[in-house]
Every structure is written in C-alpha cells, then in structure tokens.
Amino acid sequence: MSVYKRKTVSLLLFVIAALLLASVSSFAKSDEIESDRISLFVASQKLLEKTKAVPKNMLGLFMTNFGEGSEFNVGMQFERSLNDSDQIRVSSDAIYLNEESSVALFVTLKAFPVSRKTIPFFIGIGAGIQDVKDFRNSISYHLTTGFEITDNFFAEMRYVGSDIGFSINNLYPFVGFKLSF
C-alpha cells in the first residue's frame, strides 16, 4: 500500500473514531438533559398538586349584633378543616362585647352537607361562654347555619341558648371574611 493510501485510510479511521466518540458523548449529554427534563416535570406536577390542595386553616374577622345593648360587636374566627374533602371544619370564635367590656368564646363543629363547590351551605353545632367575666353562669350551646358567599366572605345565623326552647331574641347574624393559609 502506498503512503498516500495509508495516510488517507488513517485519516478516514480517525474521522470515524472521532465521530463515534462525539456521538456517544452527545448521547450521554442527551440522557442527562432528558433526566433533568423528567425531574423538572415531576417537580412541576408536585407544585401543581400543592396549589390545588384545599387550605387547612382560615383566619377571619366578622361583625355581629350578639351581646347586650350593642348594635355591632367585632369578632375573630380561626377555622380548621378536619378532612381532605373540606366537608367538616372546626372553628373557634372570640367576640369582643363592647357594652359589657368582656369577651364571648365559641367553638363550633361545621359540616357541609353538599359539596362546597356546588352549594357552599353549612350547618353547625357548638358550645360557648357568653361572658368570660361570669363564665359559670354563661355557658351555652349554639346552632348555626350559613353560606360562604365567596371563598373569603361568609354570612351565617346563629341561635345561642342556655335553656331548652326557642326564642327569636337569641338569633344573631354573623357576617365577615376569612383568609386561607
């Protein structure tokens, strides 16, 4: 074989070897890129699930005419979902009673009989202290029903009684807003 043919064959083999090594290297990089894409996709799916999850806690302010001789009293509410479908909640309320210069405390178990997304209607039952200054004589029960007008605004009617029976004077409206976290 002539020197010219050997150099040509050698150069051709060198080019083929270089192409093979380059293609193997690009496949390796391609696999790294593919695994990065898959991990990015999985992370975005997890983030999407997290953002779609129902918030467990809510904190809100409301107004009511509960209390003696006052047109409106202001209260604060903390509410927590007890299940993943957000059909059952527990809430605790504190109402500043302006005329009595005291605080009323309530704990309520709320249930949404129908899906919240369809009809945001709830019913509830609970217990409370109507006046913390005289808590032994002010323990009461209450029944509540209401609507979540939006995800952040609600309106409810609450019957608060200490004796068995019904009096229209023990029916109080509550209107307020909540923020989820």
Are 63 and 147 members of one domain?
A: yes
Same domain, 132 and 118: yes
3 state SS of 77: strand
pTM above 0.75, yes or no: no
Shared-domain flag, residues 67 and 94: yes
Identify the pLDDT of residue 101. 87
Cα distance between residue 148 and residue 3, in whole Å: 91
**CATH code assigned at 160:** 2.40.160.20
Q: Can you tell me the mean pLDDT for 53-58? A: 82
Q: What are the DSSP E strand ranges found in 112-152?
A: 121-129, 139-148
When comparing pLDDT for 37 and 61, which is higher?
Answer: 61
Same-domain status, 83 and 144: yes
Number of domains in the chain: 2
The residues facing 57 across adjacent strands are 80
**Together in a domain, 104 and 153:** yes
Distance between CA atoms of residues 41 and 31, nearest Å: 15
Q: What is the distance between the alpha carbons of residues 120 and 77, in angstroms, rounded to a whole number?
A: 18
Percentage of the chain beyond pLDDT 70 is 90
- Region at 173 (left for phi over 0; alpha for psi -120 to 50; beta for the rest): beta
Band (12; pLDDT cuts 50, 70, 90): confident
Residues spanned by the domain of 74: 57-180
